[in-house]
Amino acid sequence: MKIEVESNLSDGMQETLDAVLARSKDILPYFEIQASMLDGLIQADSFGEATSPFGDAWKPLAQSTIDARRKGKGKGSPSPLIDTWALRKGTFAKGYKGWIEFGVSGAGAVYAAAHQFGVKTSQGRDRPPARPFLPASNGQADFSRGPAKEWYDDMVSGLAEWLTNGSTHG
């Protein structure tokens, strides 16, 4: 069975619809742009400002850690998660056709979860305390609040704009 539908769209409307359909078939460029923006959020807000993607300030380093760094154990940075840069250099966000993957690879991946979620010692102390640098909680992507939510909302609303006219507002 074959069903044909005839449309009475104006020429301009038909051109717009054709353009939207064409862009929807190759959506990869949009998600690559958004992945780059997410990576910027991780790099600038998390590592640059020592805040989580949710807008919460990271717990500062213990004085004993700062003192140890000054005595040659590490590179000497008084900022959390900046001592060797392995974690920061290992973060990534990559756009695919219809989705974005983000996380940590390389040398930083070994201890990423400990810093993202924190570790409780047998005495109940946080060693290290959670210092979230990725928009994730409970092992899943989380764009529920703060700068992470702003990025997500812009990404979703920008998708309609991109499909309609091929540009982004972000």
Q: Using one digit for the tens of pLDDT, what is the confidence trace for 140-164?
A: 999 999 999 999 999 998 988 888 8
CA gap 76, 67 in Å, rounded: 9
More confident residue, 77 or 117: 117
pTM score, two decimals? 0.77
CA distance 77 to 153: 34
Question: What is the model's pLDDT at position 91?
Answer: 92
Residue 167 in any domain: the answer is no
5 within some domain: no
In a domain, 111, yes or no: yes
The string of pLDDT tens digits covering residues 60-106 is 888 887 777 666 555 556 667 766 678 888 999 999 988 899 999 98
- The tally of domains found in the chain comes to 1
Euclidean distance between CA atoms 92 and 37, whole angstroms: 11
β-pair type (140-141, 99-104): unpaired
Question: 57 forms bridges with which residues in the sheet?
Answer: 51
Overall average pLDDT of the 39-50 stretch: 89
Which residue range forms the structural domain that includes residue 40? 25-162
